[in-house]
Amino acid sequence: MKIAIDLRPLQVGHQDRGIGSYILNILKEIPTENIEYIILRYSKSDPVKDYSINFGKEYKDVVVVHNKFGRSPKELILYIKDLMFPVHNKLRMYRPNIYIQFDYLFGAPRLLNCKTYVVAYDLIPFKLKNLYLPSWKKFIYFRQLRIRSRLRQSVRAFFYEHKYRKALKFLRRANGVISISNSTTKDLIEIAKVKSKNINTIYLAASFRESEKDLFLRDIIKNLVDDIDGNFITFIGGTDKRRQVTELISA
């Protein structure tokens, strides 16, 4: 059996967040016998080596260029090209039987005789569109910015919206979707219109890392907590607006 796994989510910031922990914990437990793995990654780094992931025998490596949304016309054109016309020719050549995607925004190519499985953590951008997916028209009339900046932000918003629309279509056509909670499962059915029979709800579990870096950070946190005199609140998570950290501090 040939299994293709997209490791690009470990190269765009997820590696330092919950999604990264989820991916690395899953990859620690994958079977290695009688399976040939095909890895998809960006050229800027190698997650397999960076995180000592064991795929058993030698695996196939498919490397793609990462074109970010930039300021120059060339960077913008390359970003749009990759978004509209992703290339997976080398991946097709290996003919995987299963494609595993840990971030639905990356989607997956349509491969002959290949089943696609994707993990869905939440659909927050679709539930909070004003915060995460503002209309491109909003920036056109944003007088505080220069015309060039307004155009750039409008183009960015337009193609972000296109990217998320493609993501919804990908969720609907996937052979199986792994949801991490009942809430996410409900959103997949109501918002993404995914068929309930294609969804498996598998809850997250605690993990305890024992690397030298993790133990070092754990000691620092313990010392900081021990020095606190009196009651305190611990908040673990991102600081983006929807988490309302300022409201927590105020309360």
pLDDT at 153: 76
What is the pTM for the complete model shown? 0.81
pLDDT at 11: 93
Q: Distances in Å between the alpha carbon of 117 and those of 5, 177, 216?
A: 10, 6, 36
Mean of the per-residue pLDDT values of the chain: 86
pLDDT at 83 over 70: no
DSSP H/E element including 250? helix 245-250
Per residue in 191-246, pLDDT tens?
Answer: 999 999 999 999 988 776 677 777 888 889 889 888 888 888 888 777 888 888 99
Q: Give the tens place of pLDDT for each residue, 46-57.
A: 999 999 899 988
Distances (CA, A) of 201 to 108, 160, 177, 178, 185: 21, 28, 8, 6, 7
Cα–Cα distance for residue pair 146/84, rounded to 1 Å? 28
